[in-house]
Amino acid sequence: MNADQLAVSAPATSPKMDTKPDVAPTLRIRAVMLGERINPSGLELGAPVSSTPAAFRVHAGLVVIFRYGVVVLIGQLPSEEKVLIDSLKPRVTGELSPYEEEIAQAQLCKDENAEAIQPGGPINLTKFSDERLLLIADALAKSTSLARDERRVAAVFDVIEPFARELAEKGRTSRRRKGILQLIGNALLVQQRVAGRVAVAEKPDALWEKPQLDRLYARLEDEYELKERLDTLERKLTVVAETADALTDIIDTQRSLRLEIAVVVLIVIEVVIGCVQIWSGTH
């Protein structure tokens, strides 16, 4: 891919590249999570660049589509981004509102050893090659999806916490069976949506073809803390699963208690009826 072509569309305010000699060409990269899933089958946005993930050369940049609901727009103007997102909406399942998104900047550098990511700064690349941009798209898409999943798990924890506090302080809960079932449903729904949906730990296919770019991807993983965030998310999902099991046990205990009370009441009624019959027979 021609580096100068890509850099033309990088600034958000103007499609012209800064011509000052001391300013390195930059490229805007935006990842947007549109929904739960995106179906890229049969999609033709432009010249194909990759099949897994589906990537196309559009205008002066790239569009990379991930099945788990994220599209990464590279080197596109804001107006072009809107048109592309609108064209993908019919292929989205479980559309989100608002969208989850992250934005990064890639910048050209002269020395290969200078390929690095400054904290809060741009991603330095020796060239805007397809393979490098696909690696950035992969890392940014995973980070965006993780951010959405982290919000979901946090929302479940916000519901579970007062319930757990009530159990700890009073030894019982004022919630009825319906409320407990709703908690279990929320916990299971988050598990189903989050667990295993995004293979964060797996390396992108571009690395199998260009293993020399492994260092770049390792830096991207560190920058977006993909492994650490995944570990934290998995630990929280374990807590959610254990909470769902505990809530199920509470429901089973309540049901067993009601059955025992019903049996005792029936026995008492039978004894009373027997006593009445005996009393009636003696008189």
pLDDT digits (tens, 9 = 90+) for 136-167: 999 999 999 999 888 888 888 887 777 778 77
Top pLDDT among 164 and 62 is at 62
Residue 283 is predicted with a pLDDT of: 61
Encode pLDDT of 97-118 as tens digits: 899 999 999 998 877 666 778 7
Average pLDDT over residues 216-235: 88
Please report the pLDDT score of residue 31 as a whole number: 96
Q: What is the C-alpha to C-alpha distance for residues 26 and 171, in angstroms, rounded to an integer?
A: 59
Q: What percent of the chain has pLDDT over 70?
A: 81
In this prediction, residue 29 carries a pLDDT of: 95
Maximum average pLDDT range among 56-65, 192-201, 238-247: 56-65
pLDDT averaged over the chain?
A: 80
CA distances, 158 to each of 43, 95, 153, 162, 242 (Å) = 40, 24, 9, 7, 16
Residue 212: band (very low, low, confident or very high) from pLDDT cuts 50, 70, 90:
confident
Which residues on adjacent β-strands are paired with residue 103?
A: 30
Is residue 17 over pLDDT 90?
no
**Maximum average pLDDT range among 29-38, 190-199, 261-270:** 29-38
Q: What is the pTM of this model?
A: 0.75
Instruction: Assess whether the previous peptide bond of 11 is cis (omega < 30° from 0).
Output: no
The pLDDT confidence band at residue 73, using thresholds 50, 70 and 90, is very high
Per-residue confidence (pLDDT) for residue 173, from 0 to 100? 66
In this structure, of 144-148, 176-180, 255-259, the range with the lowest mean pLDDT score is 176-180
Given this model, what pLDDT does residue 2 score?
42
CA distance 170 to 21: 70
Q: Packing angle between helix 226-282 and helix 214-224, nearest 10 degrees?
A: 50
Q: Looking at per-residue confidence, does 200 or 39 come out higher? A: 39
Give the residue-averaged pLDDT of 27-44: 92
109 compared with 119, residue with greater pLDDT: 109
Q: 174: pLDDT confidence band, cut at 50, 70 and 90?
A: low
Instruction: State the average pLDDT over residues 193-207.
Output: 74
Quickly count: other Cβ atoms within 10 Å of residue 14's Cβ: 11
